[in-house]
């Protein structure tokens, strides 16, 4: 081994130093990585698909899979197992011309493994490609040594592992395709009898039934694949909890009939997830991919009955590359259950009118009730139904039947627990909703907020699909005889968009507010364009392709914005990176706990945590083990007190009973400012500890200012500890002193 190491070091020095020259120093690092690589790779993939159609798709998908397997499943684990340091770590004379691989280990080289995989997969599809692929791979391998980040043996091992793993992978997939392809996807197998060999199609297998079976099974594979991918993603730690998720996790620790701003279902869902998987990020978010799967199944069933299996598959796929639905399948906010139950209720209503069925009206009532317990959105559902019945006489007789009124009664019954909670809490939710919608002040027009809202909706709904839906809406308006189903879907979606567009002129509106109605808009557009396609129009396929070309990369980058830096060398700043909102919670909790323990040790006085916002207080309660284990009986992290209710913390035990204790207070901001007036009034002494950078995997995602607060004063004018009224479990102790 010593002689091999000596040879490896000798070869490394010969390349890294012996071949050094200004031309190589300028050119060779580009072979190791540059901003044009991934765009060029995308262009090549598009050309291959355009030139070879289905075989091109097979090549691109297998190349991506082979690179992922070689890099993440073969080389990654081996790096951690072997733990060989990179040359510049152990030697002082290395000429380091490129990145250091983020400090990861050297053996084997993932760059070399990826290129070994690409060489093999292109050779298996197109035999002559070795003539230019092998020289390219060797150039990349040479660059990894020349730039000082790998030994020659690292590169050689990477080439061998990437090539062998890819050959084994494709051979195994080919065997599975021959064994199962003609059964599971007969039409696709008939068009592409081999994954990589150029074999003529089998037209005798291309029947209508084979096509239906293939698209049906493809839809199930897609939906189950999305479920697995989302579960793996939330378990990976790529993102942490958002402030709202942590806040609603606090609700789940103290179950109630309603909360300051929302109905109770989100807390019940989080309670279910965390009781299955523990108080972890995975447990908090577990129900979101499950709800997304149920919504996909509903959409697929609804569309396939009214169009065909192929259209149903592509509608589900379109949902997957639409940012609003993609994010909704990962984050567990109130939108996730609301979208599901609004969609389910609307579909059940149409089914009830279609079949004149009281049973389906009962299903609609259950879904509407659950939707109301998710978010106060069901009034839009009924407004849309009555609007549809007002303009469609052939369905108006439903109002003389018991079904609609049974469903409405079930929806109203679900509102009673929420109403009771608000009655006992001074109608605080109503006040909050008025303030949130900008209805508590005088009327005014602000077209800047309207433009921002409209632009945000367009982006979240995938600009291509949103414009296609707008074209469909225009086409529907021009139709002389409007199909009842299209009119129903318009009535279930358009009022929501109209109301929130109107509200956005009054005050800043959030684009996710329209989320529950978005599936109805997409279903309307899908069915309208399907009718056009049946008449021979080519535009539907073009809109779909353009939507995927734009939406798929957007969804991938939204899930991990760090890929933008790797792919196109774009390093987003914290303010521009959307994932900063779901990163840094654990580091914030760690920094705050360190400061709390430090102050407690210096003074010998019990110390608790304070925040300027309920989201930061909730993140500290979740990610701080000391705080998490105290709940629900006691509490360590609080929100700064206020004169009136501003969040759910108002109704829980406050820190007013901690007279004489110290606190560590945090506020968001990159500029040091004076402590809030209320904080200075409540404590004898408040001292700024400075600006702290909050990080995620080493990258700064936000900055906060931290204060040390000494001696909580008695607060005679402060309201007493608020015990939850109507709680489903025992209220927290008034003495919430941290031990």
Residue from 668, 661, 642 nearest 722 by CA:
642
According to the per-residue pLDDT averaged within each range, which of 62-76, 204-218, 434-448, 606-620 is highest? 606-620
pLDDT at 616: 95
User: What integer pLDDT is reported at residue 558 of this predicted model?
Assistant: 86
CB atoms within 10 A of CB 575: 9
> How many Å apart are CA 262 and CA 418, to the nearest integer?
9
Q: Report the candidate in 341, 368, 364 with the shortest Cα–Cα distance to residue 353.
A: 364
What pLDDT, on a 0 to 100 scale, did the predictor assign at position 445? 62
* SS3 assignment, position 193: coil
Q: Is the pTM of this model over 0.95?
A: no
User: Taking 50 as the threshold, does the pLDDT of residue 535 lie above it?
Assistant: yes
Q: Does 219 have pLDDT greater than 50?
A: yes
Task: Kindly state the tokens that stand for 264.
Answer: 């109770």
Residue whose structure tokens are 């086409």? 475
**Of the candidate ranges 310-324, 356-370, 507-521, the one whose mean pLDDT is the lowest:** 507-521
Residue 578, pLDDT above cutoff 70? yes
528 close to 443: Cβ distance less than 8 angstroms: no
Stretch (H or E) spanning 687 = strand 683-696
d(CA 579, CA 560): 8
Nearest C-alpha neighbor of 664 from the set 584, 729, 607, 727 = 607
Confidence of residue 506 (pLDDT cuts 50, 70, 90): confident
Rounded mean pLDDT of 344-365? 95
Per-residue confidence (pLDDT) for residue 441, from 0 to 100: 53
Q: What is the pLDDT of residue 335?
A: 93
Q: What is the pLDDT of residues 121-162, one digit of tens each?
A: 999 988 888 888 899 889 888 888 888 788 888 889 888 999
What are the tokens at 310?
């192929």
pLDDT greater than 60 at residue 100: no
Q: Determine how many CB atoms are found less than 10 A away from the CB of residue 458.
A: 16
Rounded mean pLDDT of the chain?
Answer: 86
| pLDDT given for residue 608 in this prediction | 96
**What tens digit of pLDDT does each residue of 580-600 get?**
889 899 999 999 999 999 999
**What are 227's two structure tokens?**
């479920």
Provide CATH 1.20.144 ranges for the chain: 2-191
- Asked: is 2-191 a CATH 1.20.140 domain? The reply is no
pLDDT at 732 over 50: no
pLDDT at 422 over 80: yes
User: Residue 642, by phi and psi: left (phi above 0), alpha (psi -120 to 50) or beta?
Assistant: beta
Local structure of 76: helix, strand or coil: helix
Q: How confident is the model at residue 725 (pLDDT cuts 50, 70, 90)?
A: very low
> What sign does the CA torsion over 59, 61, 67, 73 have?
negative
Q: In what order do the strands lie in the sheet with 607-611?
A: 637-639, 607-611, 662-668, 699-712, 683-696
Buried b (16+ CB within 10 A) or exposed e, 630-669: bbbebbbbbbbbeeebbbbbbbbbbbbbbeebbbbbbbee
Lowest mean pLDDT among 60-74, 97-111, 284-298: 97-111
What is the rounded average pLDDT of the residues 242-271?
A: 95
Q: Which residue has the higher pLDDT, 336 or 577?
A: 336
């Amino acid at each position: 081994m010593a002689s091999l190491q000596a040879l490896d070091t000798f070869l490394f020095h010969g390349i890294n130093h012996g071949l050094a020259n200004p031309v190589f120093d300028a050119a060779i690092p580009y072979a190791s990585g540059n901003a044009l690589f991934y765009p060029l790779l995308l262009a090549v993939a598009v050309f291959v698909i355009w030139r070879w159609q289905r075989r091109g798709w097979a090549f691109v998908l297998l190349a991506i899979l082979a690179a992922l397997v070689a890099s993440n499943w073969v080389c990654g684990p081996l790096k951690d197992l072997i733990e060989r340091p990179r040359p510049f770590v152990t030697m002082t004379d290395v000429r380091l011309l490129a990145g250091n691989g983020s400090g990861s280990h050297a053996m084997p080289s993932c760059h070399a493994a990826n290129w070994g995989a690409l060489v093999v997969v292109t050779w298996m599809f197109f035999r002559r490609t070795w003539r230019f692929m092998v020289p390219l791979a060797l150039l990349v391998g040479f660059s990894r040594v020349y730039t000082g980040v790998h030994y020659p043996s690292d590169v050689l091992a990477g080439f061998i592992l990437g090539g062998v793993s890819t050959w084994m992978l494709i051979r195994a997939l080919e065997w599975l395709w021959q064994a199962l392809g003609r059964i599971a996807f007969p039409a696709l197998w008939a068009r592409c009898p081999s994954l990589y060999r150029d074999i003529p199609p089998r037209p005798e297998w291309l029947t209508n039934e084979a096509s239906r079976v293939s698209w049906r099974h493809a839809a199930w594979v897609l939906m189950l694949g999305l479920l697995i991918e989302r579960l793996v993603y939330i378990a990976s730690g790529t993102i942490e909890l958002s402030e709202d998720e942590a806040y609603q996790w606090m609700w789940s620790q103290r179950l109630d009939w309603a909360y300051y701003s929302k109905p109770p279902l989100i807390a019940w869902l989080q309670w279910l997830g965390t009781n299955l998987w523990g108080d972890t990020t995975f447990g908090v978010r577990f129900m979101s991919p499950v709800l997304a799967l149920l919504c996909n199944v509903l959409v697929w069933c609804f569309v396939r009955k009214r169009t065909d299996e192929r259209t149903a598959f592509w509608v589900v796929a379109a949902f997957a590359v639409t940012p609003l639905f993609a994010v909704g399948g990962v984050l567990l906010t109130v939108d996730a259950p609301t979208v599901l139950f609004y969609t389910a209720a609307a579909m059940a209503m149409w089914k009830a009118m279609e079949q004149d069925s009281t049973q389906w009206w009962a299903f609609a009532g259950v879904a509407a009730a659950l939707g109301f317990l998710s978010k106060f959105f069901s009034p839009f559902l009924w407004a849309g139904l009555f609007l549809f019945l007002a303009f469609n006489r052939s369905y108006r007789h439903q109002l003389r039947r018991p079904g609609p009124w049974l469903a409405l009664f079930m929806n109203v019954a679900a509102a009673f627990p929420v109403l009771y909670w608000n009655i006992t809490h001074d109608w605080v939710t109503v006040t909050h909703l008025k303030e949130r919608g900008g209805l508590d002040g005088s009327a005014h027009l602000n077209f800047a907020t309207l433009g921002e809202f409209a632009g945000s909706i367009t982006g979240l709904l995938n600009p291509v699909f949103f414009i296609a839906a707008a074209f469909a809406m225009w086409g529907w308006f021009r139709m002389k005889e409007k199909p009842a189903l299209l009119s129903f879907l318009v009535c279930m979606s358009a009022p929501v968009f109209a109301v929130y567009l109107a509200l956005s002129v009054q005050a800043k509106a959030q684009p996710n507010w329209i989320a529950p109605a978005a599936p109805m808009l997409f279903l309307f557009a899908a069915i309208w364009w399907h009718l056009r396609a049946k008449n021979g129009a080519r535009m539907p396929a073009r809109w779909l392709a353009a939507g995927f070309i734009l939406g798929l990369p957007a969804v991938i980058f939204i899930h991990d914005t760090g890929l933008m830096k790797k792919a196109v060398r774009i390093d987003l700043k914290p303010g521009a990176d959307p994932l900063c909102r779901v990163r840094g919670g654990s580091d914030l909790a760690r920094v705050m706990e360190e400061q709390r323990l430090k102050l407690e040790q210096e003074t010998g006085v019990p110390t608790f945590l304070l925040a300027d916002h309920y989201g930061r207080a909730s993140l500290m309660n979740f990610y701080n083990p000391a705080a998490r284990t105290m709940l629900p009986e006691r509490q360590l992290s609080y929100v700064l007190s206020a004169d009136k209710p501003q969040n759910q913390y108002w109704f829980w035990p406050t820190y007013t009973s901690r007279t004489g204790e110290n606190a560590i207070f945090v506020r968001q901001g990159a500029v040091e400012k004076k402590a809030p007036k209320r904080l200075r009034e409540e404590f004898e002494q408040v001292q700024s500890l400075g600006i702290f950078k909050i990080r995620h995997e080493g990258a700064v995602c936000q900055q906060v200012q931290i204060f040390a607060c000494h001696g909580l004063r008695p607060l005679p004018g402060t309201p007493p500890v608020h015990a939850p009224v109507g709680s489903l479990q025992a209220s927290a102790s008034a003495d919430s002193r941290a031990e």
